[in-house]
Structure 1
Amino acid sequence: MAHVIAAPLAVQPARLPALSEHKIARFAAIIVLYFLQGVPLGLTLVALPGWLAEQGASPVAIGGFVGVAMLPWSTKLFNGLVMDRFTYKPMGRRRGWILLAQGLMVMALIGMALAAPGARDIALLTAFCFTLNVCVTFSDVAVDGMAVDIVPEAERTAINSLMFASQALGVAVCSYAAGQLLSSGSLRTTALALAAMVLLASLFVALFRERPGERLLPWTSGQASRECIERQNDAWWPVISGVVRSVLAPRTFLFLLGTGFACAMLAFVDAVNPTLAVQQLGWSSERYANYGALLNLVAAGFALFLPVLMVRWFGLKRAVIAHFLAIAALSVVAGASVAGWRDDTLFMALTGVLYVLSILLTVMLIVWAMRICNPAIAASQFALFMAVPNLSRSVMSGNSGWLVESGGYGVTYYAVAAITLLGLACALAGGVGNERHAAAAA
C-alpha cells in the first residue's frame, strides 16, 4: 500500500499586534517613545547646564543656552501641520514620521560625538542641542497625534500619566548617565552612549504596526487603513482653517495662555537652578545631575498614578486649581527665605516639591488639551496646545538670567508666583474642566 506523504504546511510568520487593537502594545510603544524624549531633555535641561555652571558660565549664558536649545519645542505647530497634510499612508498616519525622527536623532547624537564641543564652545553646543530637539519634537508631535488617533477616551488620563512618567524617567536616566560621563570630561562618550540607547529602543518600536494590515517598513507588504485614508487631509486649507478656528475661540485662547504661564516654575528649574545650586550652594555638576535625575525619577513615580486618582476623586478643575495655588504659595516661601539659606536643605525640599507639582499640573492640563482636540487635525491642534507652553518656557528660561542678575534669586521666585497666579486665572477663564465646553470644542 502506497503511503501518501503530505506536504508540510507553509508556516506563516506570526505578526505582532497592531497598536490600535492591543492595549499593552499601544501603551508599551508610547511609553518607550516618551522615555526617549528624556535624552535631549536630560542633556539640555540638567546635565549640560550643571556642567556649564561648574565651568563658570554665567546665569545669562546658561539661560541663553537653555532658551535657544529648547526653541524647537515651541515650533510644534509647524510639525503638526506638515504631519496632518503629508504622510506615507501605507505605514499609518504617524508611524513613518516617528521612525524617521528617531533615526535623525541617532544621527544628531553621532554628529555631536564626532565634533565633541567643549565647555567654551557654547554656541556649537547650543547648535547640536537645538538640532537634537528639532528631531525629537517631530517624534513627539507624531506620538501625540497617534495617541489622539488610536487611544480610546477611557484610557487617555492613564496614558497621559504614563507618557509624562516615562518622559520623566527618561530624563532621570539620561541626566544621571550624562552627569557621570561628563564628570570625566567626555562629551564624545556621552553622545555615543545615548545614541546607542535611542537606536535600540527605536528598533523595538519599529516592530509594531499602527493599524492592522499596514506595512511594517516601506518595502514590506501592506496597505493604508480605512481610518488613515479618511482622516488624512489632502489639502492645506482644512488643516489650517481648523487650527485657526480652534485658536480664535476665546476660551481656547485663554486656556493656551494659562498653559503658557503654568510653565513659570519649570523655566526656573531649567535655567536658574543650575547657577543657584552650583555657584551659590557649592554643588558639583555631577551632584546637580544626580539630583536632577532623582527629581525626575520621583516626578515619574508621582505622575504615574496621582493625576488619575486626583481627577477621579476631586475632578479635573479642582485638581488644577489646587496645583496652581500650591506652586504660587511655595514660590513665595522660597523667595522670602532664599537669602537666608545656609545650606541646601530648603533648596532641595522646595525644588523637589515645586518640580513634582509642576509636572502633575502639566499632565492634567494636557489631559484637557487632548479632550478638546478634533481627531481630523489632532497632530496640528495638539501640537499648538503644546507649542504655546513650550515657547513660554523657552522665553522665560532665556530671560531668567538678567532677572537673577538684576534682582536676585528672591525676586525671581516672586516673579514665578505672580506668573503662576496669572496662569490660574487664564485657565479658569478658559473653561478647564467644563465638559460642555469640551464637547463643543471637539
Structure 2
Amino acid sequence: MKANTPALSLADRSWLRYFTFIALYFAEGLPMGILFIGIPAWMAMNNKTVAEISAFDVACALPWTFKFFVAPLMDRYTFLPMGRKRPWVIICQLGLFASLMVMAMVKDPLNHLSLLVAGGFLVSVFGAAQDAATDGLAVDTIPPDEQARANAFMGGARMIGSSFALALSTWLLERYNFTVSTGTIGIMVGLITWVPILIREQPGEKQLPWSAGAASRFTQENQINSWRAMYRSLYMAFRLKNSFLLALLLLLSQGAYNYFEKLLPIFAVKVTGWTHIQYSNAFAMADLTGGIAGILLGGWLIERFGSKRMIYLYFFFIAAQTLVLSFVTVYWKTTPFVYSYIVIYRWVNAFAKIGVFAIAMQCCSKKVSASQFTFYMTIGAVGSMIGAALISPAKNGFDWSTCFIFFAAMMLLCAVVLRGLNIKKLEDQISALAEPEEHAYLEV
C-alpha cells in the first residue's frame, strides 16, 4: 500500500472522517456505559452501601477532571510523521483496551472492592485521555462546514455505545460473570483500535513508525514547539469576550443538565415508584434512540436552520417541557407519562449538546486544538459538579415542583448567555490567532 493513498487520509475523504469519529466515539461510550451506570446498578442490586457505590463513582469520575493537564502534552509532544493527534489516539485506545482487560481479571469484585475501584479509576484514566486525543483529532481534521454534522455523529455514537454496552454487559453479567462482561467490552474497544491504526491524518504520512512517509506541511505549520508559545496561544484565545461567553454557556448548560439528571432517578424511584433497574432501562432506551436521532437529524437541523436558532429552540423546549412536568403533579405516578418525558427530554438534550459542542469545536484554534477544546469540556465538567452539588440544598429546601422550575430557569439563563455570544466574530478572531502579527490587534 502506498504511503500517500488518498482513500485512507482523513484530510481528503469526508466519509472516512465520519466513519472514523463514529467508531472512536462509539468506543469511548462503551466503558462509560458500564462504569457510570452498569456496575453501580449491579453493586446496588448486591446490597453494597451508598458509600461503597459512591467510592466507585468518584474513582471513575476523577480522571475526567484531569483532562486539561493531559491535553497540553498532546498539543506539545507528538510524532509528526504519523500526524499531530493520531499517535495519541492509538496509544490511548490501546491503553483503554488493556485497562478493561486488567479490570476484567479482578476475581470476585464484590468482595474485593478496592481492586474494583482501582480498575474503574484505571479505565477512566485512559478513557479521559482517549476523549482528549479524539477531540483534538476532530478539531484538526474536520472542516467548518462539516462540524455540525460530525458532532451529531460523534455525540450520537457515544450515546449508542454507552447504551449498547449497558445492555450487553448487564446481560453478560447476569448470564455469565464479571470477567466475561467486562472482557467483552474490552475486546470491542480493542477491535476498534484498528480504525486509527489503518488511517492517516494527512496524505503522505507514516501509517506506522516503521512505514514510509513524512510529516505533512499542515502538521508542521500548526505544531507548537514551545510551552511559552502554547500558553500564549491559549491565553490569547481565552481572553476574548466571546470565548468567555462560550465557556459560561458550557458551565451553565452542563451544570443544569447534571442537576436535573441527578434528580430524575430519585424522583422516578421515590415518587413514580420505579425500581432502579426500570430507570436504568428507560434511560438506556432514551439514550439509544436519542443517539440514533442525533446522528440522523441533529447535524442536519443545525446545518439547515443555523446553530444559534436551533439551540434557542432546544433550550426553550426543555424549559417549557419541564414547566409542564412541574405543574401536572397528577401524572407523576403514571409510568407512561414519566417514561415519555425522559425519552423526549434525552432526545432534545442530545440535540442541544450537539449544537453547543459544534460551536465549541468551530471556535478552536488548530494550533492548540486539544487544549482549547478540552478546556471548554473541562469547564462543562466543572459545571456538572456544581449542578450535582445543588441537588441536596434544592431538594432539602423545596418541593419537587420548585426543583423542576429551577431547572427550567437555568435553561432560560443559558438562552440569555447564548444571545450575547457572537459566534462569527469569535471564529474570525480565533482564525486570526494563527497570524502572530495580528495578535496585538485583536479586539477583545
Question: By the TM > 0.5 criterion, same fold?
Answer: yes
Residues 75/419 of structure 1: CA separation in 2 closer, same or farther (3 Å cut): farther
* 1:379 maps to which of 349, 370, 374: 370
The SS at the match of 1:70 is helix
- Trace 1:246-265 onto structure 2 (pairs within 5 A): 246-264=237-255
Match of 1:335 among 321, 326, 349: 326
CA distance in 2, matches of 1:401, 1:102: 37
Q: Sort the Cα spacing of 1:116 and 1:420 in 2 relative to 1 into closer, same or farther, 3 A.
A: farther
What is the aligned length? 430
Greater relative contact order (CA < 8 Å, ≥ 6 in sequence): 1
For the aligned residues, what is the CA RMSD? Answer: 3.0
Instruction: Tell me: CA distance 1:188–1:407, structure 2 relative to 1, closer, same or farther (3 Å).
Output: farther
Structure 2: distance between partners of 1:410 and 1:134: 38
Write out per-residue CA displacement over residues 152-203 of structure 1, whole angstroms, 9 at most, x where no aligned residue: 2222221111111111111121111122233458322211010111011112
CA distance change for structure 1 residues 280 and 180 in 2, over 3 Å: closer, same or farther?
Answer: farther
Distance in 2 (CA, whole Å) between partners of 1:196 and 1:27 is 23
Match of 1:114 among 82, 85, 105: 105
Matched, 1:128 2:111: no
Residues 125 and 165 of structure 1, relative CA distance in 2, 3 Å threshold = same
Match of 2:310 in 1: 319
Output the CA distance in 2 between the equivalents of 1:395 and 1:132. Answer: 24
Does residue 41 of structure 2 align to residue 50 of structure 1?
A: yes
* 1:95 aligns to 2:90 (yes or no): no
Residues 1:426 and 2:429 aligned together? no
Structure 1 unmatched ranges of 5 or more: 1-10
How much has 1:149 moved relative to structure 2? Answer: 1.5
The residue aligned with 1:165 is 156
Distance 1:293 1:156, change over 3 A: same
User: Contact 2:97 / 2:186 at 8 angstroms: preserved in 1?
Assistant: yes
Structure 1 residues 280 and 120: alpha-carbon distance in aligned structure 2, compared to 1, 3 A threshold: farther
Given the superposition, is the C-alpha separation of residues 65 and 257 from structure 1 closer, same or farther in structure 2, using an over 3 Å criterion?
A: farther
Q: Is there any run of 5+ residues in structure 2 with no aligned partner, and where?
A: 432-444
Measure how far apart 1:250 and its partner are. Answer: 2.4
**3-state DSSP of counterpart to 1:319:** helix
Secondary structure of the structure 2 residue equivalent to 1:21: coil
Moved more, 242-251 or 164-173: 242-251
Query: Is 1:437 the counterpart of 2:417 in the alignment?
Result: no
Within a 5 Å distance, the mapping from 1:141-180 to structure 2 comes to 141-180=132-171
- d(CA) in 2 for partners of 1:408, 1:64: 29
Q: Deviations over 1:247-284 (max 9, x none)?
A: 22222112211112112454246544444445654545
What pairs with 1:20-99 in structure 2 (closer than 5 Å)? Answer: 20-55=11-46, 65-66=56-57, 69-99=60-90
Deviation at 1:135, TM superposition (A): 0.9
Aligned to 1:191: 182
Counterparts in 2 of 1:372 and 1:138: CA distance versus 1, 3 Å: same
- Identical pairs, percent: 25
Shift of 1:440: 2.2
Is the contact made by 2:30 and 2:165 (CA closer than 8 Å) also made in structure 1? yes
Q: Could you tell me how far apart the structure 1 residues matched to 2:116 and 2:326 are?
A: 32
CA contact (8 A) 1:102 1:198 kept: yes
Work out the CA distance in 1 between the residues paired with 2:82 and 2:335: 51
Distance 1:30-1:364 versus aligned 2 partners, 3 A rule: same
**Cα 1:267–1:278, aligned 2, differ >3 Å: closer, same or farther?**
same
Cα displacement (A) at 1:237: 1.3
How high is the TM-score relative to the length of structure 2? 0.86
Is the CA contact 2:82–2:208 (under 8 Å) kept in the aligned structure 1?
yes
Query: Which is further off, 201-210 or 376-385?
Result: 201-210
Contact kept, 8 Å, 1:45 with 1:270, in 2: the verdict is no
Q: Is the 8 A contact 1:50 1:278 kept in 2?
A: no
Measure how far apart 1:304 and its partner are. Answer: 1.4
CA 118–423 in structure 1, closer or farther in 2 if over 3 Å, else same: farther
TM-score calculated relative to the size of structure 1:
0.87
Structure 1 Cα separation of the partners of residues 64 and 107 of structure 2 = 24
1:124 to 1:227, Cα distance in 2 relative to 1, 3 A: same
Cα distance between partner residues in 2 of 1:180 and 1:92: 39
* Counterpart Cα distance in 1 of 2:48 and 2:262: 12
- Whole-Å separation in 1 of the counterparts to 2:125 and 2:299: 31
* CA distance in structure 2 between the aligned counterparts of 1:397 and 1:66, rounded to whole angstroms: 13
CA change 1:274–1:186 in 2 (3 A) is: farther
**Structure 2 CA distance for aligned equivalents of residues 55 and 333 of structure 1:** 37
CA distance in 1, matches of 2:67, 2:395: 29
Instruction: Report if the CA contact (8 A) 1:243-1:381 is conserved.
Output: yes
